[in-house]
A = this chain, B = another copy of it.
């Protein structure tokens, strides 16, 4: 196992009616002027935004607001947020929404504390030295951004989707009320479950010796998510099922399921290219790509995939390679059972050879870098995987 750092300082407030604590919490973290950041208006329609404003009013904290975050959050809105926050002397960003809103809020929080173009942090040209404090009120169980150090932003100029990570960007608090997810459309519930699982699986698939305890937590989390995703799809107002998914969302991406492992992340990286080019839902994009990635790499260490098959799906087969493949198939069957794709054609997209080449080229900076660790993928590998997935 490898040495690791685990740092998950976010204060999580979990359960029914917890949103009304937001005023107390921003005060605890010394906010004086808050930017409330949100998406396409569901938090207005649900009444959540009014609740938040009431709670801030009660403690005498003033605020300004910026809605309009789209899935695959855009750099242009981040710039708008930074300008607004600077103009209004905002010192705390409150994200009310799902992963896209939180990622956008993190980008704004970076932006108001650096003098250069915030996009330079996402391209790696500059590195993070500061970040304004932020908090979240989560409305979708999926991205895990409510406890993670990461933010993924899409630059419309070239449709580049890039990530930036810093422990400074971990939210100070996150309010998780599963009831906020009762009205999520079926598709988003399934995409969310997939994203949660993939955050665990990207950490699970390692060629290094893994920690027992990390593996067993990861396997338990995956089984919990699969069981409860089905329950939530059958009955969207099942509080317990929604709660299991929501807490799993945070635990899957606060690094708990990666302790002692270096992880892989190439499915995410490939999906970032796909999502950047075609603007598809992140979770669905991951499901569409994962099986092809897995089939392309499992022979590097089939024992690992066989363990996955056994522990997550109860598949026992003395032929290790066969067990590995059965595990991949079982995962894809689960995705199908919650109406998630197992290929890109699901989106009515058929990337051309030129598009596949462009995505693989972007992902590897023109074949000068590799993706992942289970197998270090070169441009040619990524073209193969994207072709398999098409």
Taking beta carbons and an 8 Å cutoff, which residues of A are in contact with B? 1-9, 11-16, 18, 209, 211-214, 216-217, 219-221, 223-224, 227-228, 240, 243-244, 247-248, 251, 256, 259-260
Contact = CB atoms under 8 A, between A and B. Distances in A.
A247 B224 contact: no
A174 to B, nearest CB: 10
B1 A243 contact: yes
B8 A240 contact: no
Contact of A12 (B2, B7, B224, B244): B7
Given A213-B220, A213-B248, A18 B3 contact: yes
Nearest to A167: B11
A153 to B, nearest CB: 26
A78 B1 CA distance: 38
Contacts of A8: 8-9
A170 B251 CA distance: 20
B5 A11 contact: yes
A224 B243 contact: no
Nearest to A174: B6
Contact of A14 (B5, B15, B216, B217): B5
A297 to B, nearest CB: 25
B212 A227 contact: yes
Contact of A244 (B211, B219, B223): B211
21 contacts: A1-B15, A3-B13, A3-B15, A3-B18, A4-B12, A4-B15, A5-B13, A6-B11, A9-B11, A14-B259, A211-B243, A211-B244, A211-B247, A212-B224, A212-B228, A213-B221, A213-B244, A213-B248, A220-B220, A243-B260, A247-B260
A239 to B, nearest CB: 8
A315 to B, nearest CB: 19
A13 B220 CA distance: 24
* 10 closest cross-chain pairs (CB), A and B: A3-B15, A216-B220, A9-B9, A6-B12, A7-B11, A213-B224, A212-B224, A220-B220, A212-B244, A4-B14
Nearest to A7: B11
Contacts of A247: 211, 213-214, 259-260
Contacts of A3: 13-16, 18
Contacts of A4: 12, 14-15
